[in-house]
Amino acid sequence: MTGANSGIGRAIALALAQSGAHVAVNFVVNPQQADGVVGEIKAVGVEALALMADVADPVQVAAMFAAVDLAWGGIDILVCNAGIDGRAAAAWDADPAEWGRVLDVNLGGAFLCAREALRRMIGQRAGVVLAVSSVHELIPWTGYSAYTASKAGLSMLIKTLAQEAAPFGVRALALGPGAIQTSINAAVWNDPKMYADLIAKIPLGRMGTIDEIAAAAVFLVSEQAAYITGTTLFVDGGMLDYPDFEHGG
């Protein structure tokens, strides 16, 4: 699982472990956090590895999958969670290198990891690729054109992978969180004005939790979701339901 050493990634990793899966915890910074997640997973009674790799680098990605092969002989589930927002800037002020880095990590990284996973899953005629996307597959976000473009691209990547892999019994799908309460967005939910503005965009009237996202991820990669592929499940409290139109147009 990529980007698994904190936040949503950590929650999904632990939920998978609690469901009986061995988990490879990928990280690119904060190795101590990754080691901590590995310890939490092992405490559940399953195996875990901490694997450092920049998902935007095909050489590092290949080495990471080789390590998983060595440890467990293959892979059944890939969760692509690694992602970055990038620096806020209107498109005309955006730095091309920074803009490209967001695409390289969010979209290119998912492709490189899925490529390695599918090479293994196609041969065994079983497996699931799950990408953690966002409501910003569909909702524009001023100042973050790279992020929104990467998530929209991720949606079509997943649809295409699902189409290609379906004849081999392999599924590919995405999970689209809305506003989820994590340490990354603490500045928003700790500021009454910013929080009120955010909640106005969510029909259910609250932020989601990392455990709710983790539960959805476990469902999607399980046999209970065996007939679901090529789509994104949005877990967003109704954010995509256009709450501004609650009282009419």
CA 116 to chain centre: 17
147 in catalytic set = yes
Nearest 5°: CA angle at 171, between 167 and 175?
Answer: 155
How far apart (Å, rounded) are the C-alpha atoms in residues 124 and 16? 21
For residue 130, the surrounding DSSP H or E stretch is strand 127-132
Q: Tell me which amino acid residue 16 is.
A: L
Residues 6 or more apart whose CB falls under 8 angstroms from that of 23 comprise 1, 4, 13, 16, 17, 41, 46, 47, 48, 49
Nearest 5°: CA angle at 13, between 4 and 150?
Answer: 50
| Nearest residue to 21 (alpha-carbon basis) of 77, 73, 68, 71 | 77
The residues annotated with a catalytic role in the active site are 147
